[in-house]
Amino acid sequence: MKKNILNRIRNKELIVGVVGLGYVGLPLAVEKAKAGFRTVGFDVQNEKVDMVNHAQNYINDVIDNELEEVVNSGMLKATNEFDFIRNMDFIAICVPTPLDAHQQPDISYVKSAAELVASYLKKESIVVLESTTYPGTTEELLKNILEEKSGLKCGRDFYLGYSPERVDPGNIIYHTKNTPKVVSGIGEDATEVIAEMYRAVIDGEVHVVSSPSVAEMEKILENTYRNINIGLVNELTILCNRMGISIWEVIDAAKTKPYGFQAFYPGPGLGGHCIPLDPYYLSWRAREYGFHVSMIESSMMINDKMPEYCVERIEKILNREKKTLNGSNLLVLGVAYKQNINDYRESPALHIIDILEKYQANVEYYDPWVDEYIFKGERKCSLSELNPEKIASFDLVIITTAHSDFDYTMIQKNAKMIFDTRNAMKGITIRNNIELL
């Protein structure tokens, strides 16, 4: 089986299926198709399927003309008919892995995808999970579902592995094509075949590890590392504010050290699909082994409380101006979770707005990247534009996302007061109406 599959990879004869056409799945599907593999994207959302088939891009990290090229050439198509999986030779599962209402891992999407794949899985197929999850998911959950529902045997009839997604929305240097890839398989043959498949698609290094559990833990380490360091600097931010010290100046001084220090920056909280969520997966899994990841859990609590801390700071700023939070007119600049992208998943700005409105503040937002968003079932729309008169009408302007296309000079000149949680106004010389996080 291995020899035949390797030959088919080298000859670009494998047909690729990508389950889930979101921030991970669509870029991967485009790269597979660009590499010469006929690719089919599967998604339950009809809107995404239609957009892909009409070469309409909805992911910033996908280049419009590259999507058009692979769709128009017939190398990529999308469908919501999962019975086509029976024709797939290589299947990548790229579905969401959120948290449930109790901050527990919600792997229902992985289970559903695995059951659909298993229903149509054929011999000599390769299945790779790319969704971020807890160590043991591939070998304990996915393998069992695929074997039980398909009647096939992993390692004998099909290959199974894990390769964690590495997607950094808005990164202008690293993307799916050139980012190093960690790969793993259940068994040496599976690992060799999966590694060869990714080498045929990406330019970055393909780094092989000994088991899916190692690869799953590696992915969580990446994001937990960032979570802990951001938690550290957020906690120091709160302390520095009480001490009358600028954390931003402290970090600028510390990063002059050419070794042993990497700069992390404070903010109103963590956003995106990975960094705020992945430590919860590890913490949940650790408890099954009677182990508490105390340092990780502490950083999670600090980062989760940052929106509330920002509201406390907003209230103090208004109090100094003899205003109350109740009834104040506030403008939030940016609801995307990071600059220059349209992704607002887990954005701390949404939580800040929600808390402010609970205190009866009148809140509007402006984000040129996010025209509207839905949070807790409620839809909100961005202001259509910013002008000096509009800015001057607010009691306080709150910068929660440092988009590069904001006119910060104009904002500073016309705002009564500014609370800058991102140090976006660093280049402004006159700062008497600006307060930093």
User: What is the model's pLDDT at position 431?
Assistant: 75
User: Where do the DSSP E strands lie in 378-428?
Assistant: 378-381, 396-399, 418-420
Phi-psi region of 88 (alpha: psi -120 to 50; beta: other; left: phi over 0): beta
Q: Is the pLDDT of residue 272 over 90?
A: no
Task: Give tens-digit pLDDT for 5-23.
Answer: 999 999 999 999 999 999 9
Task: Give tens-digit pLDDT for 44-70.
Answer: 999 999 999 999 999 988 999 999 999
| Same domain as 244, residue 200 | no
User: What is the model's pLDDT at position 171?
Assistant: 86
Share of the chain above pLDDT 90, in %: 89
| Same domain as 195, residue 244 | no
Structural domain containing residue 311: 227-436
| Same domain as 104, residue 180 | yes
Tokens 């991967």 belong to which residue? 28
Look at residue 217 and tell me if it is in a domain. no
User: What is the model's pLDDT at position 105?
Assistant: 85
Tell me 182's DSSP state.
E
User: Where do the DSSP E strands lie in 228-339?
Assistant: 329-333
Is 148 in a helix, a strand, or coil?
helix
Look at residue 219 and tell me if it is in a domain. no
Backbone φ and ψ of 192, nearest 5°: -65, -45
Look at residue 375 and tell me if it is in a domain. yes
| Same domain as 200, residue 64 | yes
Q: Is the dihedral of CA 334, 339, 343, 348 positive or negative?
A: negative
Is 106 in a helix, a strand, or coil?
coil
User: What is the model's pLDDT at position 100?
Assistant: 81
| Same domain as 204, residue 234 | no
| Same domain as 241, residue 194 | no
| Same domain as 371, residue 249 | yes
Look at residue 221 and tell me if it is in a domain. no
**HEC readout, 248-275:** HHHHHHHCCCCCCCCCCCCCCCCCCCCC
Domain boundary among 159, 177, 210: 210
| Same domain as 184, residue 109 | yes
Question: Between the CA of residue 412 and those of 296, 328, 361, 395, 399, what are the distances in Å?
Answer: 38, 19, 22, 13, 11
Tokens 């009691």 belong to which residue? 395
User: What is the model's pLDDT at position 109?
Assistant: 95
Candidate list 94, 154, 240, 274, residue with the active-site label: 274
Tokens of 190: 């599976």
Whether the full predicted model's pTM is greater than 0.85, yes or no, is: yes
How far, in Å, CA of 34 to CA of 128, rounded? 19
Look at residue 157 and tell me if it is in a domain. yes
| Same domain as 376, residue 247 | yes
Give the domain CATH number at 72: 3.40.50.720
The set of residues, in sequence order, having a beta carbon less than 8 Å from that of 288 and lying 6+ positions away, is: none
| Same domain as 392, residue 334 | yes
Look at residue 246 and tell me if it is in a domain. yes
Look at residue 218 and tell me if it is in a domain. no
Radius of gyration of the chain (CA): 24
Angle separating helix axes 64-72 and 46-53, nearest 10 degrees: 80
CB 3 within 8 A of CB 105: no
Whether 274 is catalytic: yes
What is the pLDDT confidence band of residue 103, given thresholds at 50, 70 and 90?
Answer: confident
Task: Give tens-digit pLDDT for 134-165.
Answer: 999 999 999 999 999 999 999 999 999 999 99
Share of the chain above pLDDT 70, in %: 100
CB 347 within 8 A of CB 365: no
Look at residue 87 and tell me if it is in a domain. yes
Domain boundary among 210, 243, 271: 210
Backbone φ and ψ of 210, nearest 5°: -75, -20
The residue count for the chain:
437
| Same domain as 185, residue 101 | yes
Domain boundary among 149, 184, 210: 210
Q: Is the pLDDT of residue 430 over 80?
A: no
| Same domain as 88, residue 10 | yes
Give me the number of domains the chain comprises: 2
